[in-house]
Amino acid sequence: MKKTDKSIRIIPEQLTTFAPFIILTDKKLIIKWASKAVIKRDKKIIGRKISDVLTSKTPIKKITVSGLKKHQGKRFNFILLNKKAPVNLIGYWLETEKGFLLMATPDVKTTEELSTLSFEDFPENDRTIDFLVAQDEIKYSLNEATRTSNILKEQNQALEKSKKELESLNADLKKEIAERKRIEAELVEARKVALQASRTKSEFLASMSHEIRTPMNAIIGMADLLWETDLTPEQQQYVKIFRNAGENLLNIINDILDISKVEAGQIELENIDFNLNDLIEKTCEIMALRAHTKNLELTCYLKSDVPTELVGDPIRLRQIIVNLVGNAIKFTEEGEVVIRIEKLKEKKDGEKNSVTILFSVSDTGIGIPEDKLNTIFDTFTQADASTTRKYGGTGLGLAISKKLVELMNGKIWVESEVGKGSTFRFTAKFGIAKKIEEEKTTPLINLNGVSILVVDDNATNRLILRELLNGWGAEVTEAENGARAVALVKKASRTDNFYDLILLDCRMPGMGGFEVVEKINEILGETKTTIMMLTSDRRKGDIAKCRELNIATYLVKPIKKSELQNAIKVALGKAKVKAKKDKKKKKDHRKSTSAPNILLVEDSEDNRFLIQAYLKKIVCRIDIAENGAIGVEKFKKNKYDIILMDMQMPVMDGYTATREIRKLEKEKGLKHTPIIALTAHALKEEIQKSLDAGCDIHLSKPIKKVKLLEIIKKYTGENL
């Protein structure tokens, strides 16, 4: 308990850098701790009721437990009662595990109020004092200007006195110059202080990120391991809840770090080659899992004239799209989420060709009130408090996206109608890569003369399939429901003009996909038409039903362009199916390959246990080192295929240990050993620091099992 109490005291003291007036209460609103700014006004405040020392102005008049819970996170206006001079405050109430936390700063509106406060009563980055000082300087300058004007008038009226008056004015001018130089020097010093405060803030956030991510690594990792064991349905539900809670907390931490870096101007975009089509398809594949759990249709429409080989920052572009699509899924209970990508303008300027692309994310969700559209991109903002309570979230995602879009020389906006849905649009400018596209004018698949019936109740899905198939040369007919599809097949059969291929949506209102197939089979009899089933979700028994009805292919939406092309090739016999390689041969080869020798350098016992658990099902040998010094000694005595190196450790940290290992390799002519940096830091400069020390790649905690195994496989060449 002592350790817990100590941590409770330390955290508010660190926060006084940003909010000097802090009060911590228990569940009954009895004051348990207060910051120095509060204590110096009432030394007997500890143990008193909050209502005895603090009155609320807005959003509630009386401070109660229910009121604080209802309005926590909202901005409050208070008065800190004091016999000498009450203090107007503005701040926030937050509910903690053991009570409530008030974080506030002075709400100064007049110089009289300012006179009751000291410098320590303001946060380091507060500009209230600077504003009031500047206001006084302006008043002073205006008075000086008025006085000088009067002197000049008097000079014109009495030239004989000009000599003495000019000398007096010259002296005043010298004073003003000296005063201006003094002010300039103070501004330079103030700028230095502000920069130092910004650096301190960044260091604090980096430190807090590390301290939170380290235990989060163990929590999320152990939850993943527990999920892989035999659990009852009830236990699975428990594990699922705390896995999701851990991921949500991690997302909040990442959002706070991102918005901090954005506000400090510390985010720099990458400028690398990437394929837009691959990025969109992979993003949709990930987001589709969320959409399908809510029975939502997720579709993506990339217009054919949009260049796909681009130069820019794919990671930040994916972050924007994931945030917008994630919000659309979160706030939509039924219907669809549609991603549209189209070219706005293309500029050809020799080697510096560029393109501006318009991205749109539309949903059929709850919509946004018109009076909230102008503030939706502000930090910590959602449509209203009930939105936060029902759907969760920090309100940072759109603010971060707005900043990132601006860095991409674009803009972001929203169109919405309550009850009908929203459309978020943003533009971004990219360079066009210099890659030579082989067979650019030749279609990837030739479907000239192939007649295809597309059956889907979703108009966007039909549009996407029609444009793709037309681009490959196919003749496309559309049906918006099962009954219409059956009618078209019946009509075609009368003239023996059978469709070569039918692309059929599985989940349609009225008549579902499987029922449509049964009716088509009745119509065609012995004549067989190739049918491919498309579905938004994979349900138990679907594959068996497809085999029973002789359906050629079963694809889960959103369908990748290459995936659809290959499926059509196979279904229509346009390409030979490559035989699978002999699995037994692979297994024999795996057995004959020597197991990788791994050195794990990690001071946290929990994280050592977690990583060993991740690796227990693969054939490998693991040596353990509790700090960098032990790790270096083990490296001197043994040969390792790969080293997993924690960066923050006592005795010798990972940076120093990595430099020592690289030095030994150079001195003794040893083969380069891959070193994987494991750190709870997520800031770009911390990642670069590990790479500069000699690490090959960086993994931020919490570490995902799949990612760790992928990296070990990449650097050891083992089939794990």
Domain co-membership, 413 together with 286: yes
Instruction: Give Dmax over CA atoms of the chain in angstroms.
Output: 123
Beta bridge partners of 25: 31, 100
Query: Could you read off the pLDDT of 490-537 as tens digits, one per residue?
Result: 998 888 888 999 999 998 888 999 999 999 988 888 777 899 999 887
Say which residues have a Cβ less than 8 Å from residue 101's Cβ, sequence separation at least 6.
Answer: 12, 22, 23, 24, 25, 93, 94, 95
Confidence of residue 203 (pLDDT cuts 50, 70, 90): low
User: Residue 43 falls within a domain, yes or no?
Assistant: yes
pLDDT, residue 395, reads: 62
- The whole-angstrom separation of Cα 167 and Cα 348 is 66
- What three-state secondary structure class fits 299? strand
What does pTM read for this prediction? 0.54
Q: Inform me whether the pLDDT recorded for 122 exceeds 60.
A: yes
Q: Are 112 and 106 in contact (CB under 8 A)?
A: no
Q: What is the pLDDT of residue 259?
A: 67
Q: Convert 479-501 to b/e letters by CB count within 10 Å (16 or more is b).
A: bebbebbbebbeebbeeeeebbb
Q: What is the spatial distance between Cα 433 and Cα 439, in angstroms, rounded to a whole number?
A: 17
Q: 24 by DSSP, 3-state: which?
A: strand
Q: Is residue 242 part of a domain?
A: no
Residue 93 CA from chain centroid, whole number? 26
Q: Containing domain of residue 711, as a range?
A: 586-716
- Token code pair at residue 411: 């803009």
Sign of CA dihedral 564, 565, 566, 570: positive
CB 360 within 8 A of CB 424: yes
Indicate whether 384 belongs to any domain: yes
Residues 6+ away with beta carbon under 8 Å from 714: none
Contact 267, 404 (CB under 8 A): yes
- 77, 92, 123: which is the final residue of a domain? 123
Q: State the chain's mean pLDDT as an integer.
A: 81
One domain for residues 280 and 427: yes
Q: Does 223 reside within a domain? A: no
Closest CA to 360 of 407, 312, 415: 415
**278 and 425, same domain (yes or no):** yes
| One domain for residues 485 and 598 | no
- 494 and 543 in a common domain: yes
Alpha helices (H) in 495-596, listed in sequence order? 513-524, 542-548, 561-572, 583-592
Peptide bond into 59 cis (omega under 30): yes
pLDDT at 590 over 50: no
What is the structure's pLDDT at 405? 94
Within-domain flag for 406:
yes
- Looking at the fold, whether 650 and 511 belong to one and the same domain comes out as no
Q: How far is CA 167 from its chain centroid?
A: 66
Mark whether 600 and 562 lie in a shared domain: no
250 found inside a domain: no
Last-in-domain residue among 432, 465, 490: 432
The tens digit of pLDDT for each residue in 63-92 reads: 888 888 888 878 888 888 887 788 899 888
Residue 641's CB: how many other CB atoms inside 10 A?
19
Query: What is the rounded CA–CA span in Å between residue 363 and residue 327?
Result: 9
Do the beta carbons of residue 314 and residue 279 sit within 8 Å? Answer: yes
Instruction: Please count the structural domains in the chain.
Output: 4
Q: Which residues contact 54 (CB under 8 A, 6 or more apart)?
A: 23, 63, 78, 79, 80, 81, 102
Domain match, 537 and 596 both: no
| CATH number, domain containing residue 349 | 3.30.565.10
* pLDDT for position 681: 61
- With b for 16 or more beta-carbon neighbours within 10 A and e for fewer, the 171-190 pattern comes to eeeeeeeeeeeeeeeeeeee
Percent of the chain predicted with pLDDT > 90? 28
CA 645 – CA 653 distance, rounded (Å): 9
Q: Are residues 427 and 289 in the same domain?
A: yes
Does position 358 have pLDDT exceeding 80, yes or no? yes
Q: What is the pLDDT of residues 536-580, one digit of tens each?
A: 877 777 888 888 888 888 888 888 888 888 889 888 874 333 333
What residues does 357 pair with on adjacent strands?
343, 428
Any idea how long the chain is?
Answer: 720
CA distance readout (Å), 701 to 362, 515, 611, 650, 679: 33, 49, 12, 18, 6
CATH of the domain at 658: 3.40.50.2300
Residues 29 and 99 in one domain: yes
426 and 285 both lie in a single domain: yes
State the pLDDT at residue 213: 66
Q: Is residue 181 part of a domain?
A: no
Shared-domain flag, residues 547 and 639: no
Separation of first and last alpha carbons in the chain: 44
With respect to residue 172, please indicate whether it lies within any of the assigned structural domains.
Answer: no
For position 26, which CATH number holds?
Answer: 3.30.450.260
Distance CA 538, CA 544 (A): 12
CA 235 distance to own-chain centroid? 30
One-letter amino acid for residue 668 of the chain: K
Amino acid at 357: I
Residue finishing a domain among 402, 432, 462: 432
